[in-house]
């Protein structure tokens, strides 16, 4: 089953606007829309992490995510099942927004597993964030960084910052996979990814036994 799941995580730029105060202010002037800065995807043993500077014709401060978004769409076109953390609410909608912006059309249909939804449905964790779940379940943590300053440096074209961003994004995907595998035994009615075969509906293994209660 692991080889059929695409683990996916995005990093996006913020919206930029002018405001009078620090908190809960209406924008006086909206300057720039967000865009996708970086993505990390893992399927089986293949792991790819790319950011805007990895594409031809990148220049410092570029906001053109066309080639990056096209590559994400190609990955989704090949996916049967996409696993992400809060992706039904965030990543999936962000991807769709950039696809329609660039006139690329929707990807082929795929099913999703959202680990945040699973955590909320089956458990009572104090926090359902990826980092806190990783710490509580002792499977790893997110990469620590300088905070929003990292995003600012990337948007200004700092290639060392972009390298840190990719490392941060890649670790999120690795942690996501560990979290999913930890939660999976508790998921009921898991989607059977192997069709026309008798297999475990959770892990898709064909190594099963028939048992009867006596």
Full DSSP string of 13-82 = PPPEEE-SSSSS---SEEEE---EEEEEEEETTEEEEEEGGGSTT--TT----HHHHHHHHHHHHT-SEE
With cut-offs at 50, 70 and 90, classify the pLDDT of residue 20: confident
For each of the domains in the chain, give its residue range(s) and CATH number, in order of start.
2-186 (3.30.420.10)
Grouping H, G, I as helix, E, B as strand and the rest as coil, residue 159 is helix
- Tens of pLDDT along 120-155? 999 999 999 999 999 999 999 999 998 999 999 999
Edge to edge, the sheet with strand 5-12 lists 46-51, 36-43, 5-12, 81-84, 111-114
What mean pLDDT is predicted for residues 7-31?
84
At 194 the pLDDT is 43
Contact in structure between 47 and 41 (CB atoms under 8 Å): yes
Tell me the pTM.
0.87
> What's the CA gap between 174 and 194, in Å, rounded?
24
- Tens of pLDDT along 21-72? 877 678 877 778 899 999 999 999 999 999 999 999 899 989 999 999 999 9
Grouping H, G, I as helix, E, B as strand and the rest as coil, residue 133 is helix
């Amino acid at each position: 089953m692991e080889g059929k799941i695409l683990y996916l995580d995005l990093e996006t730029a913020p919206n930029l606007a002018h405001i009078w105060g620090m908190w809960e202010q209406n924008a006086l002037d909206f300057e720039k829309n967000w865009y996708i800065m970086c993505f990390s995807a893992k399927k089986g043993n293949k792991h790819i992490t790319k950011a805007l500077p990895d594409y031809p014709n990148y220049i410092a401060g570029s906001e053109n995510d066309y080639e990056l978004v096209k590559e994400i769409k190609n990955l989704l076109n090949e996916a049967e099942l996409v696993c992400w953390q809060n992706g039904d609410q965030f990543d999936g909608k962000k991807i769709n927004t950039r696809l329609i912006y660039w006139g690329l059309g929707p990807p082929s249909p795929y099913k999703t597993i959202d680990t945040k939804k699973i955590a909320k449905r089956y458990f009572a964790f104090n926090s359902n964030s990826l980092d806190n779940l990783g710490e509580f379940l002792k499977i790893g943590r997110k990469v620590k960084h300088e905070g929003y300053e990292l995003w600012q440096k990337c948007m200004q074209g700092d290639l060392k910052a972009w390298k840190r961003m990719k490392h941060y994004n890649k670790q999120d995907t690795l942690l996501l996979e560990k979290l999913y595998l930890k939660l999976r035994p508790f998921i009921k009615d898991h989607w059977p990814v192997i069709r026309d075969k008798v297999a475990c509906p959770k892990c898709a293994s064909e190594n099963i036994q028939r048992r009867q209660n006596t």
